[in-house]
């Protein structure tokens, strides 16, 4: 059974900081929020919550940054961020402490390992890409969803790998503080950040 937040599709995808996002459910504009719900209620897969802070130079929080998040479905298949209709992708805006929360499903092993991408807008001319690879520290037991994550006793790179843990009601959790300055700079403005009419 899915937690109740999964039923809150994109109505709560936007967060308070003044940006505008197009709701896929109503077609109306709404303010961006620091929490994004990416998975529709009927999307197959185990619930996943990723939260943290976007960090900039010297580890300082990047406040009010627009962030486009996307990942593969539970089978490891993508619908890219610049195609319509969008699937398992959404825009959020960091809060005053650089904080964000993403509610989605555990992605399948696309390109070898389950992972989530972030495109971070530090300024209207500076877009950075960040990717977090998901793994587990402990054995999966009989949990087939958890078993899809590679087991690692040590993280190969703390900046781009994170452990996922499961709570008592079956929701997976991950904490990631992407450092925008370390991500590769995008040469052009990504389609997800194009101005809407």
Question: In the prediction, which pLDDT does 180 show?
Answer: 83
Give me the domain span that covers residue 65.
4-193
Q: What's the structural domain count of the chain? A: 1
Question: In the prediction, which pLDDT does 195 show?
Answer: 60
Consecutive 10-residue averages of pLDDT for the chain (197 residues): 38 32 42 88 92 91 93 80 64 95 93 92 88 89 82 90 92 93 84 68
Question: In the prediction, which pLDDT does 81 show?
Answer: 53
What CATH number should be reported for the domain holding residue 177? 2.60.130.10
d(CA 165, CA 136): 7
Answering whether pTM is above 0.85, one says no
């Amino acid at each position: 059974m899915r937690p109740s937040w999964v039923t809150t599709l994109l109505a709560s995808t936007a967060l308070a900081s003044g940006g505008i996002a197009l709701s896929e459910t109503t077609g109306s504009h709404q303010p961006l929020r620091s929490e994004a719900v990416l998975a529709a209620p009927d999307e197959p897969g185990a619930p996943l919550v990723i939260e943290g802070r976007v960090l900039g130079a010297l580890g300082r929080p990047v406040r009010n940054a627009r962030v486009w998040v996307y990942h593969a479905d539970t089978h490891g298949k993508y619908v890219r961020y610049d195609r319509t209709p969008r699937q398992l992708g959404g825009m959020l805006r960091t809060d005053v402490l650089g904080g964000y929360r993403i509610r989605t499903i555990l992605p399948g092993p696309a390109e070898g390992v389950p992972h989530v991408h972030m495109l971070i807008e530090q300024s209207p001319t500076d877009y950075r890409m960040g990717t977090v690879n998901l793994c587990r520290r402990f054995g999966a037991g009989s949990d087939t969803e958890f078993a899809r994550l590679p087991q690692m006793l040590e993280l190969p790179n703390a900046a781009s790998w994170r452990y996922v843990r499961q709570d008592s009601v079956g929701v997976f959790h991950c904490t990631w503080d992407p450092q925008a300055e370390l991500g590769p700079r995008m040469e052009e403005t990504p389609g997800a950040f194009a101005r809407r009419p």
